[in-house]
Amino acid sequence: MGLKHVQKTYDALGAEDPLWAVLSFPEHKGNRWDPEAFFARGRAEIDAALEELDRRGVRPSTDRALDFGCGVGRLSQALAERFEAVDGVDISRTMVERARDFNRHGERCRYHVNTVPDLALFGDATFDFIYSNITLQHIPPEASEAYIGEFVRLLTPGGLALFQVPSGPRLAPGGLGAAWYRFRSGPLRRAWKRLRGKPPVEIHYVNRERVLELLEGAGGRVVDAWQEGSVRRKRVSWFYLVTV
């Protein structure tokens, strides 16, 4: 599923400029992020996410939360201020090492390296809340589809998952369009990025109708879904709020 390229890219970024790799503002490139300001943005994001749930009349239990695509722990550190226990998962070993360095919550916040397209390191019905933002968009769609199904499996009864992934045109599996997409979004994009001296970060999407099918097939129920972010090349960023 092409995860080895994602892992290689973020292992390098985690070693060179980990905070900028998560929030890539030009003025902070070259390890110029102030950690206090960086983690303050994580607290603001989690506050806003939970307020969004309140507006929709739902709120998870505060026993255990999962930060999928945790990077250096920007969001999991914020979640640990709201939940009794938090697990952060990332594909990059160097990112996870930095997350452990930044951890201020001891054993209440634990970090895991996961390089496979499943979350089998956790049992069924483990988490009351699952959050993921700006992560699935950097993962090949076949792996993202597998992770979306795993989110449902991991939710406790009445638990909530809130995750973001862009949508785009639906492609027939095995067709020429799908093959061109894999080449354009994978090796071609990575090569073009390298030629321009930029990190070979991939950008992907999962068609919205496909996401809904995956969630229903896994036994999830969509509480709400909304667009957030700009439209780019027929792609729209969507947030999905899901329960079981």
Q: What is the pLDDT of residues 100-147, one digit of tens each?
A: 999 999 999 999 999 999 999 999 999 999 999 999 999 999 999 999
- Are the CB atoms for 226 and 239 separated by under 8 Å? yes
Residue 55 pLDDT exceeds 70: yes
Helix (H), strand (E) counts: the chain: 9, 7
Reduced to 3 states, what is the DSSP secondary structure of residue 241? strand
Read off the DSSP letter of residue 72: T
- Are the CB atoms for 89 and 184 separated by under 8 Å? no
Query: Cβ–Cβ contacts within 10 Å for residue 244, how many?
Result: 19
Exposed, middle or buried by CB within 10 Å (0-12, 13-18, 19+), for 190?
A: middle
Predicted local distance difference test score (pLDDT) of residue 183: 83
3-state helix, strand, coil in the chain (%, to 5): 45, 20, 35
The domain 3-243 having CATH identifier 2.60.40.420: the answer here is no
Q: How confident is residue 9, by pLDDT bands cut at 50, 70 and 90?
A: very high
Residue 82 pLDDT exceeds 90: yes
Residue 233 pLDDT exceeds 60: no
Residue 1 pLDDT exceeds 70: no
What residue segments make up the domains of the chain, in order of their start?
A: 3-243
Predicted local distance difference test score (pLDDT) of residue 199: 87
- Over residues 81-108, the mean pLDDT reads 98
Q: What is the mean pLDDT of the chain?
A: 94
Q: What is the pLDDT of residues 150-200, one digit of tens each?
A: 999 999 999 999 999 999 999 888 888 888 888 888 888 888 888 888 888
Residue 231 pLDDT exceeds 60: no
Residue 58 pLDDT exceeds 80: yes
- Over residues 81-92, the mean pLDDT reads 98
Residue 235 pLDDT exceeds 90: no
- Are the CB atoms for 243 and 204 separated by under 8 Å? no
User: φ, ψ for residue 116 (rounded to 5)?
Assistant: -115, 160
Give the percent of the chain with pLDDT over 90: 82
- Over residues 54-62, the mean pLDDT reads 96
